[in-house]
Chains A and B, each alone.
Chain A
């Protein structure tokens, strides 16, 4: 009995880890990268008070934050085909995760940008820089430093949220585990095993976060922003 369980756990380890490496991690990385692009753009649109676009940005954030991620996945994957839009599962998951995470991260970025003292912008104007130059070279780097811990938090959350993609047939870690459980009926041991792998991924990210924070600290010259 014991031997059988050990054998299953050992045998399943690569079968879970490999989907983790080729699905969970790319899904997280690509979605998060896209989410950051969305977040910065949406945050700047709001801070810069761009008419019309600002209203669209608020509407987007309202919708995304007000509806469950799982429902969003279902609408895009199972719903849109009714309108003739068939999107393969993996790109679909990337799109939904990016759009979803982008809404949350844009609020993080907006708060971080607003926390940069107004004097930074004024000093930039006074040396002749344009709004976008000051944003890109002075304000955003400082805002990123403030936003880095909460953004890391979001990234770590996202690693785990990707398990929801199993619901739309993406063969990621969690779905791989479910398949093996279906064959072996060792639910407790196998779900513990996949939990452990998620934990390892997140632990690595946590370590990277502290490294990143140190690095950013140095880039901005030590002590506080204020």
Chain B
């Protein structure tokens, strides 16, 4: 459904991503793992064009695009089918929970407000926030904010959602509520690419793991096989650090 080939990103003289290939099928939940600084965030940001890749091809809907030269319009068109959930939520601070979800529907998709509110209400109900429609981000806990962000991400009916460490800014007791929501999306067959340090979550929810190290994609493997891997030094070392 979505395939990236030879994705390169350089900042100044530093190579951050050195030719990454990744392919995601419809309904896949792909966990992106790797040590800190390996380029996971950059990979996701490049895949949604928040950073401009220096090179790479993207194959979406059977068409091939040069990632480094996509026009603004093509990027906008592509983003109609994607959503992004940020580590620090990035809710619109001057909008209520409801406003956060309707904003993209009303302004970008020109949907009529009543219809947008209906969709937003359904999305907020789904993430368990039916009593928080009118709350501003400053009035919500981190876990609630992240759930609003997820509601905002699903309301536009994307074909894929990118998650960048959706729980790592949260207090430990709030992580569960967010992971539960993501798991329920997985159960419904939503296609997702999730950067996470929650290894058990990755183990239980993902279909596939991609493992990054120093800007290179070292392994792309079915989840069960990945966690049983013995023959790759970098992977065993990484899994070792987690088990300590």
Contacts and interface: CB of A to CB of B under 8 A. Distances in A.
Interface string B94-108: 111000000110011
Given A119-B88, A122-B50, A221 B137 contact: yes
Q: Give the dominant DSSP class at B's interface.
A: loop
A220 interface: yes
B84 interface: yes
Interface in A196-226: 219-225
Q: Give the dominant DSSP class at A's interface.
A: helix
Contact of B138 (A127, A128, A141, A224): A224
Interface residues of A, number: 25
B91 A123 contact: yes
A127 B120 CA distance: 13
Contacts of A19: none
Nearest to A126: B84
A130 B139 CA distance: 27
A179 interface: no
Nearest to A119: B90
Interface stretch (B75-83, B197-205, B211-219): B75-83
Contact of A129 (B88, B91, B107, B137): B107
B94 A128 contact: no
B92 A123 contact: yes
B107 A220 contact: no
Interface string A125-162: 11111100100011001100100000000000000000
Contacts of A126: 48, 50, 79, 82-84
B93 interface: yes
A221 B84 contact: no
A145 B94 CA distance: 10
Contacts of B42: none
A128 B92 contact: no
A120 interface: yes
15 contacts: A120-B92, A120-B93, A126-B48, A127-B108, A127-B152, A128-B80, A129-B103, A141-B94, A219-B94, A221-B136, A221-B138, A222-B138, A222-B139, A224-B138, A225-B93
